[in-house]
């Protein structure tokens, strides 16, 4: 084993982690503001993967290009879902919210299964199998492009929340709901916008994930679980934390797989989760409640 | 009101006689078909299902009647147990399935308790037939048989091609089947007498989203041969990452596992799917029953090629054949009598390669043999044994670049 191979594994982990981070960002945004945990998170990511597959197979659109329209579609879907389905459950018992969104997840997965069947749907991009060799490190082109776009989009979302009036208003709702209502903010609309933005992140991430992994309904549970691990490690509600959590999980899994057994990758993710919960329960970049 | 007529009397007499006629016939055998039609094994489960759906018609042509009660256990072992209970409560006389060893072990507990015959179509974990179950038979090789036959065929392959690979790495899924295959490899590889040093054994999660780290690890060892135990979705990921990481082994051989002959594999990889080798039982296309199955299968599933589906479809059909044949001989749907007939099975006429379908004291069919199947032009093609081969094996395989 050489240092070059090890470096290559770390770089692979970082690239995969950036895409995971964008996906988890959606979960973090929704929970951070609305305080509803989206248990259908992975299912929406898989829905976006299928949308990217359709765009590529029917119209030849590269999933990276399709990421923006898919994100826009997911935004509209999220906005509508929050407005007409999730909104009545905000503030209700957590188990009721769980059942609602777990139900949405089941419906989505089974609709995908009925519509597309159980076979994994590949997007065979012309550059899907290309790679760059930089010294001892081999960089997979599709993953590199997906990671770069994920990094830019994550920066864009963080910038939106920090520097725009709407973003500031949403943060105000998250910090002090009563205060936000008193100063006249339309909380319901802002919640719907937040859910929309959360799903848009998931949509963009899903579109990029299809360049790494074939679209299949089977992936949904894994994505949801992975999203939870990432946001808990990074800190629930912390946008930068989601990105950091994604990269940490990506690198941790890659190193564990390379240095020990690949089948033990998930074990190390969970060990990291347990360590963070024990030592810093609010997550690495989360605020203490 | 009309008077009593001769026609009315005849109809009345016929109606009164009907229960006796019905009693004289054995009722149709209701077979609970448990398969993973959704979840991570859905591709294979659906493939088995397509074989099962044409079975009633084909069996009827051979004078056997069955009715299928179709159940999906969602690739979930707990669900398999629950669904077995449910389908038996709904009136199933026999269970067939489930493609996956873990599910087979779960279902076996139910069928044993309820005294209902359980005919396993596909499921190789040795422990299935080692736990003394009385209501279970398996018409599929054990992991040990698969690996023994698979390794013997590798030896034949080297002799036939003159190739002299020196090193190998064994990569396997860490599910019940993959782990059982790993156990068989641990026990049998040192005794197989192959002139190939096994450098490492790498287990991976078949649900992993990508296998890039696994391939980096393989690349670091740079073996001549990659021995694999996969499912189709993870086999696709493995191949793609090998291409991306510019690692070309001299041969990729499965000593007995699904994955590299599935339609999904061909569609996902195109020309990159070619030259991969799988050693496992295959359809005997010279058998009349295989021809009958293919003739029924092709119009029923026009989107799928029987040549690529014959493994899953063939073994599932054979499991239904075992049940139907036992029912025909037993003349009853009583579990105990039916199981006795199942154990006494001796079917010379069937679909897959090997001798007659019979079962030993443990319920295992010992007569199944493997063939060496190499992908050629996106079609699984028998290349060994010579008697059954339609093409000659190619080893070492060509590089990834320039394939069409």
Interface contact flag, A8 B216, Cβ < 8 Å: yes
- If you average pLDDT over every residue of chain A, what do you get? 89
Pick B205's closest partner by Cβ from A119, A214, A265.
A265
pLDDT at position B3, please?
44
Give the start-to-end residue ranges of the domains of chain A: 24-218
Q: Say yes or no: A158 contacts chain B, CB-CB below 8 A.
A: no
Chain B's closest residue to A113, CA to CA, is: B38
Distances (CA, A) of B49 to A28, B30, B112, B274, B310: 41, 16, 24, 26, 12
Which distant-in-sequence residues (6+ apart) come within 8 Å of A231 by Cβ? A24, A27, A28, A31, A241, A242, A245, A283
Residue B13, pLDDT above cutoff 60? no
3-state SS class at B377: coil
- With bands split at pLDDT 50, 70 and 90, how would you rate the model's confidence at B7? low
How far is A40 from A223, CA to CA, in rounded Å? 10
Q: Say yes or no: A69 contacts chain B, CB-CB below 8 A.
A: no
Distances (CA, A) of B20 to A88, B15, B16, B66, B311: 62, 10, 8, 22, 43
Interface contact flag, A120 B246, Cβ < 8 Å: no
Mean pLDDT of B263-276: 91
Size of interface A-B (CB pairs under 8 A): 113
Q: Say yes or no: A246 contacts chain B, CB-CB below 8 A.
A: no
Instruction: Record the tokens describing residue B190, joined without a space.
Output: 């040192």
pLDDT at position B299, please?
94
Interface contact flag, B237 A213, Cβ < 8 Å: yes
pLDDT at position B144, please?
86
- If you average pLDDT over every residue of chain B, what do you get? 89
How confident is the model over B87-124, as pLDDT tens digits? Answer: 999 999 999 999 999 999 999 999 999 999 999 999 98
pLDDT at position B2, please?
41
Residues of B in contact with A216 (CB under 8 A): 233
Give the containing element (helix H, strand E) for B8.
helix B6-24
Angle at B221 between CA B238 and CA B224, to 5 degrees: 75
Task: Determine the straight-line distance between the first and last CA of chain B, rounded to whole angstroms.
Answer: 82
Give the containing element (helix H, strand E) for B253.
strand B251-254
Give the containing element (helix H, strand E) for A56.
helix A41-59
- With bands split at pLDDT 50, 70 and 90, how would you rate the model's confidence at B303? confident
Interface contact flag, B43 A124, Cβ < 8 Å: no
Mean pLDDT of B197-204: 94
Mean pLDDT of B5-11: 51
Can you list the domains of chain B with their CATH numbers? Answer: 29-141+284-343 (3.40.50.2300), 144-280+371-388 (3.40.50.2300)
- With bands split at pLDDT 50, 70 and 90, how would you rate the model's confidence at B17? very low
Strands B277-280 and B371-376: antiparallel
How far is A40 from A45, CA to CA, in rounded Å? 9
Per the omega criterion (within 30 degrees of 0), is the bond before A216 cis? Answer: no
Smallest Cα distance from B172 to chain A, Å: 10
Least confident of B46-50, B208-212, B301-305: B208-212
How confident is the model over B124-160, as pLDDT tens digits? Answer: 888 999 999 999 999 999 988 888 999 999 999 999 9
Q: Cβ–Cβ contacts within 10 Å for residue B311, how many? A: 24
* Under-70 pLDDT residues of chain A: 1, 289
How confident is the model over A133-159, as pLDDT tens digits? Answer: 888 788 888 889 989 998 999 999 999
DSSP character string of B82-130: HHHHHHHHTT-SEEEE-SSHHHHHHHHHHHHHHT--EEESS---GGGGS
Instruction: Record the tokens describing residue B32, joined without a space.
Output: 């609970």
Instruction: Record the tokens describing residue B268, joined without a space.
Output: 């996902």
pLDDT at position B372, please?
94
How confident is the model over B304-359, as pLDDT tens digits? Answer: 999 889 999 999 999 999 999 999 999 999 999 999 999 999 999 999 988 999 99
Residue B11, pLDDT above cutoff 70? no
């Amino acid at each position: 084993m050489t240092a070059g191979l090890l470096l290559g594994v770390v770089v692979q982990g970082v690239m995969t982690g950036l895409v995971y981070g964008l996906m988890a960002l959606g979960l973090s945004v929704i929970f951070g503001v609305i305080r509803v945990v989206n248990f259908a998170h992975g299912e929406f990511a898989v829905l976006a993967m299928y949308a990217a597959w359709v765009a590529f197979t029917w119209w030849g659109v590269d999933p990276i290009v399709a990421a923006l329209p898919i994100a826009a579609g997911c935004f509209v879907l999220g906005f509508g879902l929050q407005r007409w389905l999730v909104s009545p459950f905000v503030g209700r018992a957590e188990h009721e919210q769980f059942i609602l969104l777990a139900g949405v997840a089941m419906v989505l997965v089974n609709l995908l299964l009925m519509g597309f069947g159980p076979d994994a749907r590949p997007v065979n991009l012309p550059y899907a199998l290309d790679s760059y060799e930089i010294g001892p490190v081999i960089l997979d082109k599709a993953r590199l492009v997906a990671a770069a776009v994920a990094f830019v989009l994550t920066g864009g979302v963080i910038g939106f929340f920090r520097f725009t009036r709407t973003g500031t208003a949403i943060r105000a709702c998250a910090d002090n709901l009563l205060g936000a209502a008193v100063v006249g903010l339309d909380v319901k609309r802002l919640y719907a916008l937040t859910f929309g933005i959360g799903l848009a992140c998931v949509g963009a991430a899903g579109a990029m994930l299809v360049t790494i992994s074939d679209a299949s309904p089977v992936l949904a549970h894994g994505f949801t679980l992975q999203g939870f691990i990432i946001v808990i490690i990074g800190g629930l509600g912390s946008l930068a934390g989601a990105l950091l959590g994604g990269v940490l999980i990506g690198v941790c899994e890659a190193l564990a797989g390379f240095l020990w057994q690949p089948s033990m990758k998930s074990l190390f993710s969970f060990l990291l989760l347990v360590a963070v919960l024990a030592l810093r329960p609010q997550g690495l970049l989360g605020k203490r409640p | 009101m009309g008077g009593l007529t001769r026609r009315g009397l005849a109809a009345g007499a016929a109606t009164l006689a009907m229960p006796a006629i019905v009693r004289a016939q054995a009722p149709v055998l209701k077979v609970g078909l448990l398969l993973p039609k959704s979840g991570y094994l859905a591709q294979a489960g659906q493939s088995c299902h397509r074989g099962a759906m044409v079975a009633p018609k084909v069996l009827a042509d051979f004078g056997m009647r069955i009715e299928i009660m179709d159940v999906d256990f969602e690739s979930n072992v707990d669900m398999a147990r629950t669904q077995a209970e449910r389908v038996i409560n709904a009136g199933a006389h026999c269970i067939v399935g489930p493609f996956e060893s873990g599910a087979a072990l779960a279902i076996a507990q139910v069928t044993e308790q309820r005294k209902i015959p359980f005919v396993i179509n596909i499921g190789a974990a040795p422990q299935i037939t080692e736990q003394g179950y009385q209501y279970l038979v398996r018409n599929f090789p054990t992991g040990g048989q698969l690996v023994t036959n698979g390794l013997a065929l590798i030896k034949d392959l080297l002799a036939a091609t003159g190739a002299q690979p020196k090193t190998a790495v064994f990569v396997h899924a860490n599910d019940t089947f993959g782990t059982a295959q790993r156990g068989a490899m641990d026990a049998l590889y040192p005794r197989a007498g192959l002139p190939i040093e096994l450098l490492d054994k790498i287990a991976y999660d078949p649900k992993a989203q990508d296998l890039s780290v696994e391939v980096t690890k393989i690349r670091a060892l740079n073996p001549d041969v990659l021995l694999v135990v996969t499912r189709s979705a993870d086999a696709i990921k493995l191949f793609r990452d090998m291409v991306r990481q510019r690692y070309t082994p001299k041969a990729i051989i499965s000593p007995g596992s699904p994955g590299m002959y599935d339609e999904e594999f061909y569609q996902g990889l195109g020309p990159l799917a070619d030259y991969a080798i799988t050693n496992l039982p295959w359809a005997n296309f010279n058998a009349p029953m295989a021809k009958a199955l293919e003739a029924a299968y092709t119009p029923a599933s026009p989107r799928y090629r029987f040549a690529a589906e014959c493994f899953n479809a063939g073994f599932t059909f054979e499991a239904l054949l075992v049940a139907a044949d036992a029912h025909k001989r037993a003349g009853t749907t009583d579990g105990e009598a039916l199981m006795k007939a199942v154990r006494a099975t001796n079917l010379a006429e069937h679909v897959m390669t090997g001798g007659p379908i019979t079962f030993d004291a443990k319920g295992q069919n010992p007569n199944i043999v493997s063939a060496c199947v190499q992908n050629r032009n996106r079609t699984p093609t028998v290349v060994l044994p010579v008697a059954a081969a339609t093409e000659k094996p190619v080893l070492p395989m060509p590089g990834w670049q320039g394939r069409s």
